[in-house]
Structure 1
Amino acid sequence: MRNIQLLIEYDGTHYAGWQWQKNEKTIQETLTGAIEQAIQEQIKLYGASRTDAGVHAFGQVANFKTISDIPPERLLLAINFYLPCDITVKKVTDVPESFHAQYGAKSKIYQYTLFNDWIRTSLNRYFCYLYGFHMDMNKIVTAARHLIGTHDFTSFTTKARYEKDRIRTIKSLDVKKEGKYIYFTIEADGFLYNMVRTIVGTLIEIGRGKIMVESIKDILDAKNRKAAGPTAPAKGLCLMEVKYDD
């Protein structure tokens, strides 16, 4: 029995997220179907991150077990042959039997892209949030620093009642502006539902002066979703990398 690791890129625009859902088209379902066609065998596919509807991935990781003896380089071509153009397997690797894409992940890096202009970008319209208002970048960067570390992020999830453990550790949160684009890059040991998008929505409000920089501590302490800012749209979010122990 082999354990196969996949490195995957996808445009999540037309999918209801990663995870299987009844009567909905998902990344997991589509990818599983392509793999099963390629190896002529039923498999169970495990993904590192359950990205939401409309969210993209540059570095999603998944794994499955198989009795197939197709070499990785041929398996890569075969799986991609059966996939639609908005999902691509970039790498296929044999890994130890104990490897699990979800449970073995040590941290994940997400990037949120905002296009700060009133005139839309046609080429990147599915991959960034169009937002025309002026924002104070110094306030955003300062507020972002207060979120780094281990905190209870109840105020930053829309499904707190389903999350037993709402403590997460943000290892880094960088905000950079390049031309009209603003990139929010965040690495953490895990994320609650809509956590990244709510953090971005809150930082946007701080940049506009609607929420004070000093309020971040109060928002965390409140443990109440109503204390934070709005949830930024899904299309600006992309899973960049999943990290594992060497």
Structure 2
Amino acid sequence: MKYALKFAYDGQAFEGYARQPGMRTVEGEVIETMQSLGIIEDPRSNAFQSASRTDRGVSAAGNVIAVVTGFDKDALIPALNSKLDGAVFWGIAQVEGGFNARHARERWYRYILHRTRMPDPNELQTAANQFVGEHDFCDYAKKDTGEENTVLTINSIDINGNADFIFIDIKAERFLWQMVRRLVSSMMDGGTGPAPAENLILMDVAYDFPFNEPTEKGTPFLKHHISARTRAEAMSQIDKIITSA
């Protein structure tokens, strides 16, 4: 059977997402855990895929992996969560054999800013509106990545928040490398470099089917010391998503 699994992780607990020899990465830890539990033999033969490979320091509330396995469906999430540190699986869906995790309907990122010395939200929204729709975003991506198609469509950018924080929610089918962080930098002060990674969350990767939630409620996710207030807010939002599952 092939399954899509939704999970959250603390980006600062890892040295990036993609597997790297000798480094503790999100993808590497998930694959090693699956192998140790007998869920997969190796990534290639079990068709392991990641929906989004987030930058180092970026966290996620709803990234997705896909895998082919004969492991019991109801036991998958409890088994993974019993072994993983810094990541929590909280949703599962059985999918067709041809399902490709990369081909999502929409990806939703949220960037969190503390209100202290930040631009007025209305000014941010005005700056954000110019990016909505179809544009060539080559100037808002890391150079020399081999990405040929830099024209894409941003579905929406919404600015909201609370008394302490401003949230920049950006939704699109796909993004270029560092694109969200560079857009945020441009909105804030016209900069071209990427904004800091630690305040960015991949909130969700959406498809045209729902994910079933496990019978047991999620467990608190905040296991690591977080010093910055904005970072604590990011982890708090991830906690709310997975503990309400």
Alpha-carbon separation, structure 2, partners of 1:54 and 1:63:
22
> How far has the Cα of 1:235 moved from its partner?
0.4
> Contact 1:10–1:57 (CA<8 Å) still a contact in 2?
yes
For residues 83-122 of structure 1, give each alpha carbon's deviation from its aligned partner in whole angstroms, at most 9, with x where no partner exists.
11x10111233222111211x21220000111123xxxxx
2:192 corresponds in structure 1 to 229
> How far has the Cα of 1:134 moved from its partner?
4.1
1:108 corresponds in structure 2 to 107
1:165 corresponds in structure 2 to 149
Structure 2, unmatched stretches of 5+, are 210-245
User: Once structures 1 and 2 are overlaid, which stretch shifts more, 72-81 or 185-194?
Assistant: 72-81
Q: Which amino acid aligns with 1:177?
A: G
Pair 1:53–1:161, CA change in 2 (3 A): closer
Pair 1:36–1:134, CA change in 2 (3 A): closer
Alignment of 1:90-239 (within 5 A): 90-102=90-102, 104-117=103-116, 133-160=117-144, 162-205=146-189, 211=190, 228-239=191-202
> How far has the Cα of 1:160 moved from its partner?
4.9
Alpha-carbon separation, structure 2, partners of 1:178 and 1:40:
42
Alpha-carbon separation, structure 2, partners of 1:134 and 1:74:
46
Alpha-carbon separation, structure 2, partners of 1:240 and 1:38:
27
For residues 121-169 of structure 1, give each alpha carbon's deviation from its aligned partner in whole angstroms, at most 9, with x where no partner exists.
xxxxxxxxxxxx2423222111111110000001111225521111110
1:73 corresponds in structure 2 to 74
RMSD: 1.6
> How far has the Cα of 1:175 moved from its partner?
0.9
> How far has the Cα of 1:172 moved from its partner?
0.3
Aligned residues: 205
Q: Which amino acid aligns with 1:245?
A: D
Q: Which amino acid aligns with 2:97?
A: E
Alpha-carbon separation, structure 1, partners of 2:126 and 2:144:
26
> Contact 1:30–1:83 (CA<8 Å) still a contact in 2?
yes
Q: Which residue of the other structure, out of 196, 201, 205, is the alignment partner of 1:242?
A: 205
Pair 1:189–1:65, CA change in 2 (3 A): same
Alpha-carbon separation, structure 2, partners of 1:171 and 1:69:
37
Please say if 1:64 is aligned against 2:67: yes
Alpha-carbon separation, structure 2, partners of 1:40 and 1:166:
37
Pair 1:69–1:24, CA change in 2 (3 A): closer
Pair 1:158–1:41, CA change in 2 (3 A): closer
Task: Tell me the secondary structure at the aligned position of residue 101 of structure 1.
Answer: coil
The list of structure 1 runs, each at least 4 consecutive aligned residues, that deviate by more than 6 angstroms after superposition, is none
Alpha-carbon separation, structure 1, partners of 2:75 and 2:64:
19
1:220 corresponds in structure 2 to none
Alpha-carbon separation, structure 2, partners of 1:40 and 1:134:
46
TM-score (norm 2): 0.79
